[in-house]
């Protein structure tokens, strides 16, 4: 009976177990088959992607090569023309063009190098030679730049000779990029280059160290600095913004040499980059007596920049009353100077090198128009616009944003912050002039809205704008001192929390009249209403609106309204 029960219950359990094992084996086989299919598909997809990458790389290389032809013509003609120019200012402007064309050429060359590395088409041209004098020549080519920037350039070699296999062109490019970066982010400090022979893991290396006492890199960004096209968001790095190519290319070139690269940095203290290049590599082509080329003096910024006669960045009495002030907020020296050059024949131009100083300058001078770059260190153009549009002193000033990002989404962001116009780079000078003129002309409508007829009886609005609130405060201050003949513009300025110049410029922009004229107009408008309502004699009304001399009151009133006070009272 017991055995019967075992069979009765055991067979179904065994059957279930067998079915489970069969299912598990079958499922495993199906999974393996599916995995094999996926791997096969993955190989096909990987091959397709590889082919696509090659097509893109070829297209990229071809297009980049095409850039070289017009660039070669530009540089060739500039080199011929510049020496023949006698006008100093014109020569400086052409040198700026040449400098930026050279920078473009450098960028194109770097992009081509990256494309070759991506496509595994970059080979090393290894030569056997003494690398010490070669590196020394590279650092010496930075001597003029070091002197101009007030930076101590030091070279330290523990030995006079390190004979090794290396590609001179690639090594030159590596240390050009590293030293250029070191100088770019160091001000009146020190840049050093050290070279020595070391052993590591039983292998001989040439150790090269580039050190600087510059701004350094914050810890969380150090792992990313060798990534292609990575640019630090640190405002101090963005001030010297580049392409994000240089250090990535350096790492690729070191890897090509089977070398190692390491970066250490402390924010605010400096950066140290260590490179280890193996002494011996395969396919060395020449003897140890490799010729060391003499390199030209390297100064990425050239010796000449586009400069202007220094002008005081403060307002004169005449300029306080002027309607032609433009503030340029731009961190790129060449673009800022170009804007000054193209605008100054028509406008009085002030400038600022970043958002923070731009906000302070705009608040101080109350310009008629602000031209502001979007990408800047610290506060960018969007932040600058938000701040200036929200503060009372500058809320009315039209702002033109300049940017290399011409996409619709960027335009929307710019306009949402309160910008009045959005101009993509590169821009036409004529277009910029037209935009500025239209914005200044558009202010006339604002002046009409806040015309003299609104001085005493402003329109009733459910929610006054910032400009209307400002005018209401000014009028309230004048009203509170209406009978005080000694109430001055200086006192009015203090009451509304502005300097005399700021109040003056703001009122001119909104109403078309100066601060002193605004006070006079308000007094006379108030007097006109009192005369119409016959609330007193002409003399009494003159005293009530701050005139100690009824005769002078009558003179001013008649000049403004073309009718005497007594006539207004009589006709009412």
Tokens representing residue 570 in the block? 């009589």
pLDDT digits (tens, 9 = 90+) for 163-188: 998 988 889 889 988 998 888 888 88
The number of beta carbons lying within 10 Å of the beta carbon of residue 570 is: 11
Q: What is the CATH number of the domain that holds 99?
A: 1.10.287
Instruction: Write b or e for each residue in 261-290: b if 16 or more Cβ atoms lie within 10 A of its Cβ, otherwise e.
Output: bebebeeeebbbbebbbbbebeebeeeeeb
Structural domain includes residue 294: no
Q: Is the pLDDT of residue 55 over 50?
A: yes
- 365 and 330 within one domain: yes
Q: Which of 88, 118, 148 is the last residue of a domain?
A: 118
Q: What is the CATH number of the domain that holds 363?
A: 3.40.50.2300
Helix (H) or strand (E) holding 443: helix 429-449
- 263 and 164 within one domain: yes
- 540 and 555 within one domain: yes
Structural domain includes residue 287: no
What domain count does the chain have?
Answer: 4
Q: Is the pLDDT of residue 322 over 70?
A: no
Instruction: Please give the Cα distance from 568 to 561 (Å, whole number).
Output: 10
Instruction: Please give the Cα distance from 154 to 349 (Å, whole number).
Output: 42
- 418 and 347 within one domain: yes
The pLDDT-based confidence of 503 (bands split at 50, 70, 90) is confident
pLDDT digits (tens, 9 = 90+) for 59-104: 665 666 667 667 777 777 788 888 888 888 788 788 878 877 777 7
More confident residue, 531 or 447: 531
More confident residue, 113 or 1: 113
Residues in contact with 64: Cβ distance below 8 Å, sequence separation at least 6, in sequence order: 108, 111, 112, 115
Structural domain includes residue 369: yes
Instruction: Please give the Cα distance from 551 to 483 (Å, whole number).
Output: 16
Query: Across residues 317-337, what is the average pLDDT?
Result: 78
**What DSSP character marks residue 22?**
H
Structural domain includes residue 372: yes
Instruction: Please give the Cα distance from 244 to 231 (Å, whole number).
Output: 5
3-state SS track over 357-426: HHHHHHHHHCCCEEEEECCCCCCCHHHHHHHHHHCCCCCCCCEEEEECCCCHHHHHHHHHCCCCEEEECC
Structural domain includes residue 245: yes
**Across the strands, what pairs with 192?**
154, 211
- 477 and 411 within one domain: no
pTM of this structure? 0.64
- Phi, psi dihedrals of residue 166, rounded to the nearest 5°: -155, 160
Structural domain includes residue 367: yes
Instruction: List own/partner pairs for 84-89 with CB under 8 A and 24 or more apart.
Output: none
Structural domain includes residue 300: no
Residues in contact with 440: Cβ distance below 8 Å, sequence separation at least 6, in sequence order: 323, 368, 369, 398
More confident residue, 73 or 478: 478
Instruction: Please give the Cα distance from 508 to 525 (Å, whole number).
Output: 18
From residue 119, give the alpha-carbon distance in Å to each of 51, 194, 230: 10, 33, 21
From residue 400, give the alpha-carbon distance in Å to each of 249, 440, 453, 525: 36, 12, 31, 37
Query: Across residues 49-65, what is the average pLDDT?
Result: 62
Instruction: Identify the pLDDT of residue 363.
Output: 92
Tokens representing residue 148 in the block? 């101009």
pLDDT digits (tens, 9 = 90+) for 266-296: 888 899 999 999 998 765 555 545 666 555 5
- Residue range of the domain that includes 325: 317-446
Compute the 3-state secondary structure of the chain and give helix, strand, coil in percent, each to the nearest 5.
55, 15, 30
The pLDDT-based confidence of 440 (bands split at 50, 70, 90) is confident
- 140 and 269 within one domain: yes
Cα dihedral: 421, 427, 429, 435 (round 10): -10
Q: Which of 215, 249, 278 is the last residue of a domain?
A: 278
- 80 and 6 within one domain: yes
Instruction: Please give the Cα distance from 353 to 245 (Å, whole number).
Output: 25
What DSSP assignment string belongs to 148-189?
A: HHT-EEEEEES-S--EEEE-HHHHHHHHHHHHHHHHHT-SSS
Q: Are residues 397 and 370 in contact, defined by beta-carbon separation less than 8 angstroms?
A: yes
- 155 and 109 within one domain: no
- Min mean pLDDT across 18-22, 109-113, 446-450, 463-467 is at 18-22
- 155 and 101 within one domain: no
Q: Are residues 558 and 526 in contact, defined by beta-carbon separation less than 8 angstroms?
A: no
Q: What is the CATH number of the domain that holds 537?
A: 1.10.10.60
- 240 and 141 within one domain: yes
Instruction: Please give the Cα distance from 450 to 441 (Å, whole number).
Output: 15
More confident residue, 210 or 514: 210
pLDDT digits (tens, 9 = 90+) for 134-161: 999 889 888 888 888 889 999 999 999 9
pLDDT digits (tens, 9 = 90+) for 184-227: 888 888 999 999 999 988 899 999 999 999 888 887 777 877 77
Q: Are residues 361 and 501 in contact, defined by beta-carbon separation less than 8 angstroms?
A: no
**Across the strands, what pairs with 369?**
326
- 175 and 257 within one domain: yes
Q: What is the CATH number of the domain that holds 148?
A: 3.30.565.10
- 148 and 29 within one domain: no
Q: What percent of the chain has pLDDT over 70?
A: 71
Q: Is the pLDDT of residue 454 over 70?
A: no
Q: Which of 76, 99, 118 is the last residue of a domain?
A: 118
**Across the strands, what pairs with 205?**
198, 278
Pairing of strands 421-424, 399-403: parallel
Structural domain includes residue 286: no
Tokens representing residue 345 in the block? 């024949």
Which strands form 348-352's sheet, in the order they lie side by side? Answer: 348-352, 325-329, 369-373, 399-403, 421-424
């Amino acid at each position: 009976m017991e055995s019967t029960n075992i069979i009765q219950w055991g067979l179904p359990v065994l059957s279930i177990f067998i079915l489970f094992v069969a299912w598990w084996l079958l499922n495993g086989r199906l999974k393996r088959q599916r995995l094999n299919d996926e791997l096969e598909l993955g190989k096909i997809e990987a091959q397709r992607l590889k082919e696509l990458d090659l097509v893109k790389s070829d297209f990229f290389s071809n297009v980049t090569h095409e850039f070289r032809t017009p660039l070669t013509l530009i540089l060739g003609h500039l080199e011929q023309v510049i020496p023949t120019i006698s006008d100093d200012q014109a020569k400086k402007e052409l040198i700026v063009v040449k400098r930026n064309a050279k920078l473009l050429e450098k960028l194109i060359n770097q992009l081509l190098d990256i494309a070759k590395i991506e496509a595994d088409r970059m080979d090393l041209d290894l030569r056997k030679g003494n690398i010490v004098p070669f590196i020394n020549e590279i650092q010496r080519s930075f001597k003029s730049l070091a002197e101009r920037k007030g930076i101590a350039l030091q070279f330290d070699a523990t030995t006079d000779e390190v004979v090794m296999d290396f590609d001179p062109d690639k090594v030159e490019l590596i240390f050009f990029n590293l030293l250029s970066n070191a100088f770019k982010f160091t001000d009146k400090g020190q840049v050093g280059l050290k070279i020595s022979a070391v052993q590591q893991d039983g292998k001989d290396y040439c150790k090269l160290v580039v050190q600087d006492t510059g701004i350094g890199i914050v810890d969380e960004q150090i792992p990313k600095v060798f990534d292609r096209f990575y640019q630090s968001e640190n405002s101090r790095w963005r001030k010297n913004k580049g392409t994000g190519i240089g250090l990535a290319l350096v790492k690729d070139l070191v890897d090509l040499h089977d070398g190692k690269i390491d970066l250490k940095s402390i924010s605010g203290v400096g950066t140290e980059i260590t490179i280890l290049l193996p002494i011996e590599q395969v396919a060395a082509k020449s003897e140890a007596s490799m010729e060391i080329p003499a390199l030209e003096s390297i100064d990425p910024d050239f010796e000449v920049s586009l400069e202007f006669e220094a002008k005081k960045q403060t307002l004169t009495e005449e300029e306080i009353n002027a309607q032609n002030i433009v503030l340029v907020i731009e961190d790129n020296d060449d673009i800022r100077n170009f804007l000054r050059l193209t605008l100054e024949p028509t406008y009085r131009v002030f400038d600022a090198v970043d958002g923070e100083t731009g906000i302070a300058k705009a608040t101080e001078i109350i310009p008629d128009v602000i031209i502001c770059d979007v990408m800047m260190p610290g506060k960018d153009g969007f932040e600058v616009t938000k701040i200036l549009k929200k503060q009372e002193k500058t809320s009315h000033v039209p702002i033109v944003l300049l940017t290399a990002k011409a996409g619709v989404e960027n335009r929307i962001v710019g306009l949402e912050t309160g910008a009045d116009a959005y101009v993509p780079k590169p821009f036409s000078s004529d277009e910029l002039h037209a935009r500025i003129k239209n914005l200044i002309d558009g202010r006339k409508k604002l002046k009409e809205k806040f015309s003299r007829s609104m001085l005493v009886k402003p329109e009733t609005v459910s929610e006054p704008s910032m400009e209307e609130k400002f005018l209401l405060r000014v009028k309230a201050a004048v009203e509170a001192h209406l009978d005080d003949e000694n109430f001055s513009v200086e006192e009015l300025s203090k009451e509304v929390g502005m300097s005399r110049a700021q109040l003056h410029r703001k009122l001119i922009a909104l109403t078309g009249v100066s601060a002193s004229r605004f006070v006079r107009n308000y007094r006379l408008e108030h007097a006109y209403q009192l005369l119409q309502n016959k609330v007193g004699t002409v003399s009494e009304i003159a005293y009530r609106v701050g005139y100690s001399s009824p005769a002078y009151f009558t003179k001013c009133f008649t000049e403004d309204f073309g009718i005497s006070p007594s006539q207004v009272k009589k006709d009412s």
